[in-house]
């Protein structure tokens, strides 16, 4: 990665699953003092995010964000603060308020202070009427509040681009698999929890059915995709700029369990579907990312075997 001097970046929701890995990657590029990590939560001294600037900020507090933008001469925001699908269905009002209210604030600030903005979307934009291989352009009829906020978020982002020239970009991330920070209350969390249980106790009860197949991605691919999209020349981006489909690897819960058994033969996985099965069933099983390949050269590196190998060896080293 090349260091980009003169750029100061603000990250919201920096203590979450993605922020824990994106913040160090951004610090490596821009310099340690040029990345302002923020979150609603107080930081734990052991967090990797604690190695640079961190301050508490609620994305619903626009004045606080503006104060940080001005005092640090911020020119780019990575807006990660959100309420994910499973937590969002437990508290849809909070999900709507944080996801839409927070985005409205950063979009306005981006317009007022001429900032670049990265705001992630999700495979949750798709609904049950989507084909199993989700096209870039297809009717978006999500059935979760989280998915609805992501569809509205893409529409809002496009509005600010079309009407105010705000350079806003986003990716419809698949379920992300990583070992450095726990996932934050999503439907795809089983694909992370299973590794922790495999290493710590040798057994796991999965909350979706064995044949549930969803699009997933190893975090290293997701971080690289984020930086590559932000590096892409503005003229190369098309109508998908606020919500590019990107594919990583799709597998069923049983295929994931079998891939772990291949490395840990005594591992036992049971299946007891809960309400999250319904959310998983409303999403497509694969993603067509032709547009991202064509517009900014997207290509994933991690397949199922590599992902399982990385997850297990890193978690085993930690234990
Ligand atoms: P996460 O839940 O792990 O982290 C979100 C962070 O936002 C948390 O640290 C939380 O404390 C913070 N937060 C919540 N409310 C806040 C508020 N009012 N003000 C400031 N901070 C607040 O989520 P993540 O997995 O890191 O996801 C980041 C973004 O990526 C979200 O927009 C999410 O929808 C999107 N995404 C994630 C995945 C995934 O699998 N992790 C998949 C698709 C899209
Ligand atoms: N991983 C996320 C979730 O399950 C998808 O956006 O909520």
CB atoms within 10 A of CB 6: 9
Q: What is the pLDDT of residue 12?
A: 98
- Report the run of H or E that residue 198 belongs to, with start and end: helix 190-200
- pLDDT over 70 (residue 74): yes
Distance (Å) from CA 264 to ligand 1 centroid: 31
| 39 ligand 1 Cβ < 6 A | yes
CB atoms within 10 A of CB 13: 26
As a whole number, mean pLDDT of residues 48-72 equals 97
With a CB cutoff of 8 Å and minimum separation 6, the contacts of 201 are none
With a CB cutoff of 8 Å and minimum separation 6, the contacts of 145 are 88, 89, 92, 95, 96
Nearest atom of ligand 2 to the alpha carbon of 279 = 4
Q: What is the pLDDT of residue 45?
A: 86
Q: What is the DSSP letter of 187?
A: G
Return the ligand number nearest the Cα of 208.
2
Closest residue to atom 2 of ligand 2, CA basis: 186
Give percent of the chain above pLDDT 70. 98
Q: Which one, of 126, 270, 128, lies nearest residue 194 by Cα? A: 270
| 122 ligand 2 Cβ < 6 A | yes
Residues 251-265 as b/e (b if ≥16 CB within 10 A, e otherwise) read bbbbebbbbbeeeee
Rounded to whole angstroms, the Cα distance separating 272 from 252 reads: 15
Q: What is the pLDDT of residue 243?
A: 98
As a whole number, mean pLDDT of residues 221-229 equals 98
As a whole number, mean pLDDT of residues 10-20 equals 98
Q: Which one, of 180, 170, 2, 172, lies nearest residue 77 by Cα? A: 170
Return the ligand number nearest the Cα of 97.
1
Backbone angles phi, psi at 236, to 5 degrees: -85, -10
For 43, 58, 105, 180, 313, the CA distances from 318, given in Å and listed in that order, are: 21, 32, 38, 10, 9
- pLDDT over 70 (residue 135): yes
- pLDDT over 60 (residue 269): yes
Q: What is the pLDDT of residue 2?
A: 41
Which CATH number is associated with domain 9-174? 3.40.50.720
Q: What is the pLDDT of residue 196?
A: 98
* DSSP characters over 105-167: HHHHHHHHHT-EEE--EEGGG--TTS-SEE-SSS----SSHHHHHHHHHHHHHHHHHHHH---
Tell me the pLDDT tens digit for each residue of 205-224.
999 999 999 999 999 999 99
Backbone angles phi, psi at 154, to 5 degrees: -65, -40
Q: What is the pLDDT of residue 4?
A: 55
Rounded to whole angstroms, the Cα distance separating 295 from 239 reads: 10
Between residues 318 and 284, the one the model is more confident about: 284
Distance (Å) from CA 233 to ligand 2 centroid: 28
Tell me the pLDDT tens digit for each residue of 281-314.
999 999 999 999 999 999 999 999 999 999 999 9
Nearest atom of ligand 2 to the alpha carbon of 88 = 7
Backbone angles phi, psi at 59, to 5 degrees: -70, -15
Q: What is the DSSP letter of 44?
A: P
Which sequence spans correspond to the domains of the chain? 9-174, 176-216+247-318
Token pair belonging to 264? 């840990």
Q: Which one, of 206, 182, 180, 186, lies nearest residue 271 by Cα? A: 206
For 22, 189, 260, 285, the CA distances from 253, given in Å and listed in that order, are: 27, 11, 11, 12
| 191 ligand 2 Cβ < 6 A | no
Distance (Å) from CA 284 to ligand 2 centroid: 12
Which CATH number is associated with domain 176-216+247-318? 3.90.25
Q: What is the pLDDT of residue 1?
A: 39
Backbone angles phi, psi at 178, to 5 degrees: -155, 165
Q: What is the pLDDT of residue 5?
A: 56
């Amino acid at each position: 990665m090349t260091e980009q001097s003169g750029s100061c970046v603000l990250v919201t929701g920096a203590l979450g699953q993605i922020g824990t890995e994106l913040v160090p990657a951004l610090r490596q590029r821009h310099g340690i003092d040029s990345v302002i990590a923020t979150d609603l939560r107080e930081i734990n001294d052991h967090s990797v995010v604690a190695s640079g600037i961190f301050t508490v900020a609620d994305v619903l507090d626009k004045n606080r964000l503006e104060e940080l933008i001005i005092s640090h001469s911020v020119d780019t925001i990575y807006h990660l603060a959100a309420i994910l699908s499973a937590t969002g269905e437990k508290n849809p009002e909070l999900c709507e308020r944080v996801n839409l209210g927070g985005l409205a604030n950063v979009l306005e600030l981006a317009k007022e202070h001429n900032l670049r903005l990265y705001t992630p979307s999700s495979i949750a934009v798709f609904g049950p009427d989507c084909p199993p291989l989700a096209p870039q352009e297809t009717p978006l009829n999500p059935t979760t509040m989280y998915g609805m906020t992501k569809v509205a978020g893409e529409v809002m982002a496009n509005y600010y681009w079309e009407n105010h020239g705000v350079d806003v970009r986003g990716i419809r991330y698949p379920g992300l698999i990583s070992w450095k920070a726990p996932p934050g209350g999503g439907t795809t969390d089983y694909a992370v929890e299973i590794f922790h249980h495999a290493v710590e106790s040798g057994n796991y009860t999965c909350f979706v059915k064995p044949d549930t197949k969803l699009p997933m991605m190893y975090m290293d691919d997701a971080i690289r995709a984020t930086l590559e999209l932000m590096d892409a020349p503005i003229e190369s981006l098309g109508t998908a700029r606020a919500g590019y489909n990107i594919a990583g690897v799709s597998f069923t819960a049983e295929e994931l369990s079998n891939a772990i058994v291949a490395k840990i033969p005594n591992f036992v996985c049971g299946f007891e579907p809960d309400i999250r099965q319904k959310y998983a069933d409303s999403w497509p099983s694969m993603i067509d990312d032709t547009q991202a390949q064509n517009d900014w050269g997207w290509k994933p590196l991690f397949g199922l075997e590599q992902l399982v190998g990385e997850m297990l060896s890193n978690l085993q080293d930690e234990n």
